[in-house]
Amino acid sequence: MKIKTKIFLLAIVPFLVAIAGIGIGVRLQATALADAQRATVETAYLSSKQTELKHYVELATSAIEPLYDAGASSGASNASNATNTSIAANRANDDAARKRQALAVLQRMDFGPDGYFFVYDMQGNSLMHPREPDLVGHNWWLLRDPNGALTIQQLIAAANKGGGYVRYVWHRPSTNRLEPKLGYVVPLPRWGWMIGTGIYLDGVKETLSGIDTSASANIGRTMTWIGIIALAGFGVITACALFLNVSEHRSADAKLKRLAQRVVESQEQERARLSRELHDGISQMMVSVKLLLESALARLERAGAPHTRVPSAEAALGTALTRLSHVLREVRRISHALRPSMLDDLGLTAALEQLTREFAEETGIEMQVETDAASRKTALPAAVNTALFRIAQEALMNIVRHAQASHATLAFAVQGKTATLTIADDGQGFDVEHAQADARGGIGLRNMRERLDALAGILAIASQPGQTVVTATVPLPPPHSTPRAAELAQTDRPS
């Protein structure tokens, strides 16, 4: 794994872990808060309903309290004065009448379509039910709800304790469905009754459902914002990493280009040094040796007596002179290929003309240089001269090796602040994109581009069967920034 990838992971992984931890913590806290709110609301709602039910039952008992109390006072006075069964029968009849009257009063009392009072005796017999009269007159002691709970027994047990609240499931008249209900019952001990009422809990269910929905929506929005923040943070980290990566690549690329330029400059300097050494040192010594051999051969040929001449020696000297001439030409050729002195002495145009003459003589391909007087006299910076000459040299070598051309033309022109060199041939052409994309080939083309990149120049290549055109364009710096151009301009002046 690359060091850049490791650094990126070290930055992004803790961030994502932290965001995930925050998200989990926020979700847990929000869920706990929603549960606590739900429980609080449910408790408060049930408390208010319990108070409301107790108030309803108190109203009902108050409505029948005169009848209930009248039976108690009549029973007490009659008990002290009763002397026969007729009095007891009358008292029982009066008490039954008061009970019927009380049931009628309770049946008329209601508070809404599902708000009513019900009366059972302590054995589970239904005495009054205004919404479900079919229940009246039947015993429901063993009645169970869908959960298996004994509903009437629970209500009677709460009444036997002096009154209380019971949650159970009961048929709702308005919807004709079984729904949860909260009931409150109190006993009437002397009559053996249980009187009560209830409120269906659909309201609290809807309220709690709304709380759950709101809590879920809030949690969802919070998690969405956390996700957006996480994505934004991830994007910022990624953008910073990409920016640093691009900056580093650009810096490395710039350093690599500077290094390549220095290598090229070092190569040119070394070539110039070797060219001077060959031209001024070895070439001069070889010329001196050639002169000495020619002098020796002339002396042998001028010898007066034929018997004093040595034909074999003369032949050997002649062969040595011939080979030495070949070696001298080869040394001069190598010296010129390394760094033509004409490029520094007479300028780019003269060097190009000499280059085309040499290639034409060696290969038999017809080559020519086209330029104008103004371009010929224009003094260019040494770096531009060298780059364009090397590009021309590389292009001509490619023509000789691959193009199978019979004619090539070099056109050089300086227009304004731009120098342009165009090399055209009538060869077989090549696939430019393939040559540039081939990592193992196209080295010459890449060298051309690298030389021009160092000078902010542009290399354009167009090729098809029968014509290939290579155009190198280099911007020229202002005259005051090219001291080398001034030197070259001085060398172009006639002495």
- Angle formed at CA 208 by CA 204 and CA 213, multiple of 5 degrees: 150
Whether 261 shows a pLDDT value over 80: the answer reads: no
- Res. 472: pLDDT tops 50: yes
Task: Provide the edge-to-edge strand list for the sheet that holds 117-121.
Answer: 126-128, 117-121, 193-200, 177-188, 164-172
Entry field: residues in the chain = 495
Q: Is 301 exposed, middle or buried (0-12, 13-18, 19+ CB in 10 A)?
A: exposed
pLDDT in tens, 193-206: 999 999 888 777 77
What band does 471 get if pLDDT is binned at 50, 70 and 90?
A: very high
Residue-averaged pLDDT of the chain? 81
The CA-based angle 62-64-66, given to 5 degrees, is: 90
**pLDDT digits over 34-67, tens only?**
888 878 887 888 888 889 899 999 999 999 888 8
Listed range (151-160, 245-254, 331-340, 359-368) with the worst mean pLDDT: 331-340
- Model confidence over 366-419: pLDDT tens digits? 999 999 988 888 888 888 888 898 899 889 988 988 888 899 999 999 988 899
The answer to whether 184 touches 178, Cβ cutoff 8 Å, is no
Label the pairing between strands 418-425 and 467-475: antiparallel
pLDDT of residue 485: 40
Q: How would DSSP label each residue in 420-471?
A: EEEEEE-S----HHHHHH-SSS-HHHHHHHHHHHHTT-EEEEEEETTEEEEE
473, amino acid identity = T
Question: Which whole number is the average pLDDT over 112-140?
Answer: 91
Residue that is written with structure tokens 């039952």 in the block: 57
What's the CA angle centered on 88, arms 85 and 94, to 5 degrees?
145
What residue type is assigned to position 180 of the chain? P
- Report the C-alpha gap between 230 and 232 in whole angstroms: 5
Report CA Rg, the chain: 59
CA distance 153 to 191: 18
Interior/surface letters 345-373, b for 16+ CB within 10 angstroms, e for the rest: ebbbbbbbbbbbebbeeeeebebebebee
Neighbours of 400 (CB within 10 A): 19
Evaluate whether 293 touches 317 at the Cβ level (below 8 Å): yes
* Contact predicate 399/408, CB 8 Å: yes
Tokens 């049946």 belong to 107
Tell me how far the alpha carbon of residue 388 is from its chain's centroid. 45
Q: pLDDT confidence of 328, banded at 50, 70, 90?
A: confident
CA–CA separation, 338 and 344 (whole Å): 13
Q: How many angstroms separate the CA atoms of 196 and 159, rounded? A: 9
- C-alpha 363/C-alpha 471 separation (Å) is 23
Domains by residue range for the chain, with CATH: 3-200 (3.30.450.20), 342-492 (3.30.565.10)
pLDDT in tens, 67-95: 888 766 655 444 444 455 666 667 777 78
Cβ of 159: how many Cβ atoms within 10 Å?
A: 23
Rounded Cα distance between 386 and 261, Å, is 12
154 within 8 A of 168, measured Cβ to Cβ: yes
Q: How far apart are CA 197 and CA 216, in angstroms?
A: 35
Query: Which carries the bigger pLDDT value, residue 188 or residue 273?
Result: 188
Residues 311, 364 contacting (CB under 8 angstroms) = no
Model pLDDT, residue 83: 52
From 321, 210, 331, select the one nearest 278 (Cα to Cα).
Answer: 331
pLDDT for residue 491: 40
Helices 283-301 and 311-338 sit at what angle, rounded to 10 degrees? 160
Q: Among residues of the chain, what percentage have pLDDT more than 90?
A: 23
- What does the alpha-carbon distance between residue 176 and residue 124 come to, in Å, rounded to a whole number? 23
Residue among 317, 319, 287, 286 at smallest CA distance from 300 = 317
Q: Cβ distance 360 to 366 under 8 Å?
A: yes
Instruction: Please state whether beta strands 177-188 and 193-200 pair in parallel, antiparallel, or not at all (unpaired).
Output: antiparallel
Please tell me which of 250-264, 276-290, 465-479 the model is most confident about, judged by mean pLDDT. Answer: 465-479
pLDDT at position 361 over 80 = yes
Closest CA to 398 of 441, 361, 368: 441
pTM, two decimals, is 0.46
Cβ atoms 452, 390 nearer than 8 A: no
Per cent of the chain over pLDDT 70 is 84
Which residue type sits at 198?
G
Average pLDDT over residues 127-148: 91
pLDDT tens-place string over residues 420-445: 999 999 988 888 888 777 766 667 78
d(CA 273, CA 426): 36
